[in-house]
């Protein structure tokens, strides 16, 4: 392993894929040239981390960037459903000895290349009952052995919390930056703060926090109702010590499109979330 203090910015590391790692000892994909790797993380499940990942991927693809999504939430994968590709399967190839396995990701309508455990297993609702080291091994394989090709952005939908996978991604993957997702609740902020402190300890740069489900616009009068905390989002961001990237409302049209597997189509036809891509550039 190398010992390069600028690994997180990647600028000094070779980006060519290799199983051994780049010049800074970070793990690189074997079948791809990836310019930026962004991790999207939250402390707690259900706050909208996968939704924000899907929105950002779609917005970047709408602007013509080449985008990939690695669903690193191995025990709770949701990216295939977001993109409505849950009935498709990634191609798994190996050489005649059954070695050198590669995965061909599934492409969405906009050409976003997605890999997820749910695109590799036969049955979508079959649980993954594996210990941490096995889950880590599978994640590394999905990251390294997928045929990403050339990508401007690889977005990693992380599992919630500060567990094994988060540690692997923050320590071993050449992250350009991370985005934290939270909801306006003191209890959630407290748990999300643990992730923020983890990023500090591991010297991973963080772009800021997206506060999700901040409010809902009344269907009749359009007035904003803050369902959770009445505190402004800026106050939560200040507690986390991060810039506030966005306050996203509960969006009933998005929910409906998600349920129908049509979130990408919905996002293609709205510019509500376009501003979000400024946060990753």
Residues that bind ligand ADP in the complex, under the rule CB under 6 A? 42, 45-51, 78, 212-213, 248, 250-251, 254-255, 258
Task: State how beta strands 206-211 and 106-107 pair.
Answer: unpaired
Are the beta carbons of 52 and 179 closer than 8 angstroms?
yes
Q: Is 48 among the annotated ligand-binding positions?
A: yes
| Residue 52 or 60 with smaller CB distance to ligand ADP | 52
Q: Is 47 among the annotated ligand-binding positions?
A: yes
Nearest approach, Cβ of residue 79 and ligand ADP (Å): 9
Query: Scanning the structure block, which residue is given the tokens 């934290």?
Result: 180
Q: Which residues are paired to 67 by β-bridges? A: 153
Question: What separation in angstroms does the CA of 65 have from each of 9, 152, 277?
Answer: 20, 6, 11
Nearest approach, Cβ of residue 203 and ligand ADP (Å): 24
Q: Is 137 among the annotated ligand-binding positions?
A: no
Q: Is 201 among the annotated ligand-binding positions?
A: no
Task: State how beta strands 113-115 and 106-107 pair.
Answer: antiparallel
Nearest approach, Cβ of residue 16 and ligand ADP (Å): 32
Q: Is 44 among the annotated ligand-binding positions?
A: yes
Question: What separation in angstroms does the CA of 76 have from each of 46, 71, 115, 135, 261?
Answer: 11, 9, 14, 12, 17
Q: Is 45 among the annotated ligand-binding positions?
A: yes
Give the span between the Cα atoms of 139 and 134, in whole angstroms. 9
| Residue 27 or 155 with smaller CB distance to ligand ADP | 155
Give the span between the Cα atoms of 69 and 38, in whole angstroms. 10
| Residue 8 or 69 with smaller CB distance to ligand ADP | 69
Structure tokens at 125: 């609702």
| Residue 1 or 255 with smaller CB distance to ligand ADP | 255
Give the span between the Cα atoms of 209 and 29, in whole angstroms. 27
Nearest approach, Cβ of residue 208 and ligand ADP (Å): 17
| Residue 44 or 66 with smaller CB distance to ligand ADP | 44
Q: Is 161 among the annotated ligand-binding positions?
A: no
Nearest approach, Cβ of residue 38 and ligand ADP (Å): 15
In the annotated binding site, the residues are 43-50
Query: Binding site for ATP: which residues?
Result: 43-50
């Amino acid at each position: 392993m190398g010992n390069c203090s600028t690994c997180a910015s990647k600028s000094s590391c070779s980006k060519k894929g290799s199983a051994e790692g780049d010049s800074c000892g970070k793990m690189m994909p074997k079948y791809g040239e990836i310019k930026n790797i962004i991790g999207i993380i939250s402390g707690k499940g259900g706050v909208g981390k996968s939704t924000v990942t899907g929105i950002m991927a779609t917005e970047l693809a709408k602007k013509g960037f080449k985008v990939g999504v690695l669903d690193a939430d191995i025990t709770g994968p949701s990216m295939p459903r977001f993109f409505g590709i849950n009935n498709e399967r990634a191609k798994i190839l190996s050489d005649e000895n059954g070695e050198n396995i590669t995965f061909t990701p599934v492409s969405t309508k906009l050409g976003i290349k997605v890999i997820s455990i749910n695109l590799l297993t036969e049955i979508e609702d079959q649980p993954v009952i594996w210990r941490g080291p096995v889950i880590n091994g599978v994640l590394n394989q999905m990251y390294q052995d997928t045929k990403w090709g050339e990508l401007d952005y690889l977005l990693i939908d992380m599992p919630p919390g500060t567990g094994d996978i988060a540690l692997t991604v923050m320590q071993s993957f050449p992250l350009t930056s991370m985005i934290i997702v939270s909801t306006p609740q003191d209890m959630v902020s407290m748990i999300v703060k643990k992730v923020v402190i983890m990023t500090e300890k591991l010297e991973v740069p963080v772009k800021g926090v997206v506060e999700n489900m901040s409010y809902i616009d009344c269907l009749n009068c359009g007035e904003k109702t803050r369902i959770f905390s009445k505190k402004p989002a800026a106050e939560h961001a200040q507690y986390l010590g991060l810039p506030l990237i966005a306050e996203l409302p509960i969006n009933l049209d998005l929910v409906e499109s998600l349920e129908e597997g049509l979130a990408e189509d919905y996002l293609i036809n709205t510019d509500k979330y376009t501003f979000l891509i400024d946060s990753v550039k």
